[in-house]
Amino acid sequence: MGLGAEANLGDSIITTKLDEAINWARSYSMWPMAFGTACCGIEFMSVAAAKYDISRFGAEVVRFSPRQADLLIVAGTITYKQAPVLKKIWDQMCEPKWVISMGACACSGGFYDNYTTLQGIDEVIPVDEYISGCPPRPEAVLDAIMNIQKKSYNESIIKDRERNFKGILDA
């Protein structure tokens, strides 16, 4: 016998649309893969820590394996040297998957307009949510996660997500 709302429901059945049920479950159990390379990674630690507490959104299961994650958070500068690694991680993630580009460097290269920094990760992988700031405040990251939740609500399990993306590392 449960103690929550299900306690009142007894052994009755609730009917709903499959998409609704699955999207509801998915959006509140995002498993982020934190690709933290630099300062934004430190700020991402703050998001995960007690004060901002990412687990209020069900996204506290931070995984470092792309196989176990459905939300890639790129937190930090991506250099040309790092780009193939990022690409590989993105390719290894299973569908459905989303990407948050956190901070100015990941979005556009930031003020590192020079020979070594990739001018935005969307040259390599597709991006769903951009967060501005250098580094963004934790609230901004939570906001992006909420936006991803909204996005994932409109998915359908019978339709694949459209991807016409071609980056500089795609042959």
Partner 1 sequence: MLKTDMLIDAKDIKSTISRLKNEEDFTLLLDITAVDYMEYPDVTPSRFAVIYILRTSNFKKQISIKAYVDDNTLEVDSITDLYFAADWGERETFDQYGIRFKGHPNLKRVLNHHQFVGHPLRKDYPVTKGQICTETEDLMDEMIPLLKRKGYTEADMEDLMMLNVGPSHPASHGTIRNFVAMEGETITACVTEVGYLHRGFEKSCETHTYSQIIPYTDRLNYCSAILNNIGYSKAVEDMLGIDITPRAKMIRVIIGELSRITDHIVCNAANMVDLGGLTNFWYIFAPRDKAYDLLSKLTGARLTNSYTRIGGLEFDLYDGFAEDLDAVIKDVEKAIEDSLSLIEHNRIFHDRTQDVGVIKQDFAISAGITGPNLRATGVAFDLRKDAPYYGYENFDFDVVVGSHGDVYDRIMVKFEEMRQSIRIIRQAMKELPDGPLNVDHQGIFLPAKKDVYGNIEGLMNQFKLTFEGIKVPKGEYYGYTEGANGELGFYIVSDGSGTPYKVKCRPPCFYSLGAYARIVEGNMLADAVVTMASMNFIAGEFDR
Binding site for partner 1 (CB under 8 A): 35-39, 41-43, 45-46, 49-51, 64, 76-77, 79-85, 89, 105, 111-119, 134-135, 137, 168-169
Helix (H, G, I), strand (E, B) or coil at 93: coil
Give the CA dihedral 12, 26, 69, 38, nearest 10 degrees: -130
Helix (H, G, I), strand (E, B) or coil at 47: helix
In Å, how far are 27, 34, 106, 113, 145 from 41, measured between CA atoms?
23, 8, 11, 20, 16
8-state DSSP, 63: B
Q: Is 107 annotated as a binding residue?
A: no
Cβ closest to partner 1, residue 95 vs residue 113: 113
**How do 71-75 and 98-102 pair as beta strands?**
parallel
Cβ closest to partner 1, residue 22 vs residue 48: 48
Q: Is 40 annotated as a binding residue?
A: yes
Cβ closest to partner 1, residue 105 vs residue 127: 105
Q: Cβ 28 to partner 1, closest distance in Å?
A: 22
Q: Cβ 7 to partner 1, closest distance in Å?
A: 31
Going by the annotation, the residues of the binding site for [4Fe-4S] cluster are 39-40, 105, 134
